[in-house]
Amino acid sequence: YHPHPSKAHQTMAPIPARNNTYSSHSRNKSLQEEDLISTAIDMRKAGNLHASALRLRQACQKGNKTAFLLYGLALRYGYGIDSDYIQSFYYIKLSTSIKSWDNEVFNLNINPFQLERTLSESIPTKLEEPLVPALYECGIAYLKGFGSPQIDESKGLKCLEKAASMGHVDSMCLSGIIWSQDQDTDKITIHPGCDYEHTPRRKDVVKAAAWFRIAEKRGANLIGSDWIYKKKYLKAAEAR
């Protein structure tokens, strides 16, 4: 990337004895799903895209979240299956297990300045999969219109910042890029129920610089990034 400017009733219930048969069945089911996914990945590497997509679909039918993400991407890009943006977005969102997108993503106000100040404690180094990569792909879907009703930069940026706050470096970089530019007026979405005139998002170079610094500290190789360490941006970040 190139950075530019009511309590539940509680009872003392007996603990059931472990059902070894069920436990064994559960482990076997998990192994079967993992086998399907690893086989699908190997098949794709070998160029057998159609068979790979079929294996991923089988794993989806078993409810595997990683399969939801990989199958969703196969549907997006037409890897061994006809491209279908709407179904793609459906499977990718399903892989996140998010119940309320408003409460868990869209209504959050993620502060990169606070994250940067407490970087070692606030942002995990190990990604929660498939949630975090799926959030990134949801962001891409909203930004590009890959299955969303229309391009929606606001929702796309919220997905990216959520993923970035959970350690996804590409999301950090892309969040920085978006904040370094004014919003394209063609990408403004007026949501149903809004009775006000939407103001385009203005660029925030200080915020962009913060996201880039976080990304660099997490291993991103940024070209031409000296400006993000300028005193005026560091001082402005301290006040936010």
Q: What is the pLDDT of residue 140?
A: 98
Question: What's the confidence (pLDDT) of residue 87?
Answer: 98
Of 62-71, 158-167, 181-190, which gets the smallest average pLDDT?
181-190
Q: What is the model's pLDDT at position 183? A: 86
State how far the Cα of 122 lies from the Cα of 138, in Å rounded to an integer. Answer: 22
Q: What is the mean pLDDT of residues 177-184?
A: 92
Q: What percent of the chain clears pLDDT 70, i.e. is strictly above it?
A: 81
Q: What is the mean pLDDT of residues 8-35?
A: 48
In the predicted model, what is the mean pLDDT of the chain? 86
**Residue 10, pLDDT above cutoff 60:** no
Model confidence at 21: pLDDT above 70: no
* pLDDT beyond 50 at 17: no
- In this prediction, residues 92-118 reach a mean pLDDT of 97
- Nearest CA-CA partner of 141 in 83, 90, 215: 90
C-alpha span between 3 and 230 (Å, rounded): 14
Number of helices followed by number of strands (H, E) in the chain:
12, 0
pLDDT of residue 57: 96
Which tokens sit at 231?
């005193």
Which residues have C-beta within 8 Å of that of residue 5, sequence separation ≥ 6?
Answer: 180, 203, 205, 208, 227
